[in-house]
Amino acid sequence: QVQLVESGGGSVQAGGSLRLSCAASGSDSWYCMGWFRQRPGKEREGVAVISPGGGSSGYADSVKGRFTISRDSTKNTLSLQMDSLKPEDTAQYYCATVRSSPFPPFANCSAAFRRGDAYYWGQGTPVTVSS
């Protein structure tokens, strides 16, 4: 069992930046990791996904060019740098271990990520962007 704990959420004005972190209690280095969010009144959606080695990543169209996902497998941490934040980015943000085989082809990760299919989920951290 792996526990994921997010941090770094908060309130910021539009145009500002936040950096979210996710600490894993065990090693998830064999698996893709992802960030998801649930906006008020909306279903949970995928934001960004990264391969086990960090060499491949993918983003939702709504955050491309503004958000950057990264991971440090030696420290079992996952990060999401969020720049040029918009009010519509207001949401509860979750990190997750994407469900797949160990060291999967990135296409498999992406498919699972789009389905929201994950082994483990964090409790979430809130982000509020004011206009």
Pairing outcome for strands 125-130 and 118-121: unpaired
Average pLDDT over residues 8-16: 98
pLDDT at 27 over 80: no
Share of the chain above pLDDT 90, in %: 87
**The pLDDT value given to residue 2:** 85
pLDDT at 98 over 80: yes
Average pLDDT over residues 116-122: 95
The tokens 């990543």 sit on which residue?
Answer: 57
pLDDT at 85 over 80: yes
Whole-angstrom distance, CA of residue 68 vs CA of residue 85:
12
Whole-angstrom distance, CA of residue 62 vs CA of residue 28:
27
Helix, strand, or coil here: 25? coil
Mean pLDDT, the chain, as a whole number? 95
Whole-angstrom distance, CA of residue 22 vs CA of residue 124:
9
